[in-house]
């Protein structure tokens, strides 16, 4: 079933008590919302994945799968991870309220439900969700490589098609989680930003192509917007390899020496140990007939200039 997003906003109500469903359904319907209902956790997950509602009203206590588990599973799936979840609960103890937020709840209302209060909460969260969705659609339309991921575990909650493509082509993510190097970087940058520091970008290189990651802004608690960018020096690296009879890896190492990178920097970029970079560099020195990084860089720069003039 497909819903026209240009018309009524969609609300999914999840409650195992028919009377509760009836009251909420009537109030929301009269206010112009498209209303879907589910009477248990499994049905709620299926309806959410199919319809992708603008907001979910979720009963905390239900037989079988309770609302807390439903919320956790919603947050684990990229297609439903960003849907606002408003818990409906008669549990007013602090630990239950904390549990609702920890499992992914956005807000909560206490039973017995007051229709006007629920409508006010829904209006606020639907507006925020609509603005975020419009921004994401704009990023998709203009071909931006952008994604949102959790710093704690690297789970991707949303990504543009271009971001997915770049992650896969550089083996930096599987579409659901960031790769280990990117995940470690994100976790470190989130801590740095939280302590008032200035985050720094990450660059990964693969066969002369570079993929950069830049922390943009927080999109929620523990969740961050990341901007990706790709550049390529394949032609230059191949030219250096041919000019000096270097292997592909030696040519990459020489290229980054020209860029002024240290062995440790080159190792991070090419995912090599500094010791391995050093061994490649020794081979480069031997083939170029030089003894220092400066001399190797100077020869490489001169050859690049010659090639550019042809």
pLDDT higher at 96 or 216: 216
The residues of the chain that CATH labels 3.30.450.20 are: 143-232
Q: Alpha helices, DSSP H only, in the chain?
A: 18-30, 41-51, 67-76, 94-102, 115-141, 161-169, 180-194, 234-244, 248-258, 263-270, 274-288, 293-309
The residues of the chain that CATH labels 1.10.10.10 are: 234-309
Determine the pLDDT at residue 5.
43
pLDDT surpasses 90 at 142:
no
pLDDT surpasses 80 at 8:
no
Q: What's the CATH code, domain 10-138? A: 3.40.50.2300
User: In the structure, what pLDDT confidence band is assigned to residue 3 with cuts at 50, 70 and 90?
Assistant: very low
CA-to-CA distance for 191 and 110, rounded, in angstroms? 35
The residues of the chain that CATH labels 3.40.50.2300 are: 10-138
Mean pLDDT of 85-105: 84
In 3D, which of 192, 205, 260, 199 has the Cα closest to residue 226?
A: 199
pLDDT surpasses 90 at 207:
no
pLDDT surpasses 80 at 140:
no
pLDDT surpasses 90 at 137:
no
pLDDT surpasses 80 at 208:
no
Which of 3.30.200.20, 2.120.10.30, 1.10.10.10, 3.40.50.1860 would CATH assign to domain 234-309? 1.10.10.10
Q: Is the pTM of this model over 0.85?
A: no
Q: State the fold for domain 143-232.
A: Beta-Lactamase (3.30.450)
Which of 68-77, 141-150, 217-226 shows the lowest per-residue confidence on average (mean pLDDT)? 141-150
User: In the structure, what pLDDT confidence band is assigned to residue 138 with cuts at 50, 70 and 90?
Assistant: low
Mean pLDDT of 159-182: 89
């Amino acid at each position: 079933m497909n819903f026209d997003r240009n018309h009524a906003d969609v609300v999914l109500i999840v409650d195992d008590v028919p009377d509760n469903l009836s009251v909420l359904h009537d109030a929301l319907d009269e206010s112009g919302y498209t209303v879907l209902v589910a009477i248990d956790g499994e049905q709620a997950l299926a309806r959410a994945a199919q319809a992708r509602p603008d907001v979910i009203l979720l009963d905390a206590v239900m037989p079988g799968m309770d609302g807390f588990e439903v919320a956790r599973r919603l947050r684990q799936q990229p297609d439903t991870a960003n849907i606002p979840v408003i818990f409906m609960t008669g549990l007013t103890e602090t630990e239950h309220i904390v549990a609702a937020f920890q499992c992914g709840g956005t807000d909560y209302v206490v039973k017995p439900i007051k229709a006007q209060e629920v409508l006010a909460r829904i209006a606020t969260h639907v507006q925020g969700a609509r603005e975020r969705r419009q921004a994401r659609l704009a990023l998709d339309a203009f071909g931006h490589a952008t994604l949102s991921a959790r710093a704690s575990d690297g789970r991707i909650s949303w990504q543009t098609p271009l971001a997915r493509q770049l992650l896969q082509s550089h083996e930096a993510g599987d579409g659901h989680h960031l790769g280990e190097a990117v995940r470690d970087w994100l976790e470190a940058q989130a801590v740095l930003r939280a302590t008032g520091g200035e985050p720094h970008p990450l660059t990964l290189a693969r066969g002369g192509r570079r993929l950069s990651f830049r922390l943009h802004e927080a999109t929620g608690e523990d969740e961050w917007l990341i901007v990706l960018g790709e550049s390529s020096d394949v032609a230059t690296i191949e030219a250096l390899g041919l000019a000096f009879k270097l292997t592909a890896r030696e040519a990459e190492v020489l290229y980054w020496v020209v860029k002024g990178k240290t062995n440790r920097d080159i190792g991070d970029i090419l995912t090599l140990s500094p010791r391995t970079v050093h061994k490649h560099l020794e081979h480069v020195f031997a083939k170029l007939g030089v003894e220092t990084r400066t001399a190797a860089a100077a020869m490489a720069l001169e050859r690049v200039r010659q090639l550019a003039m042809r």
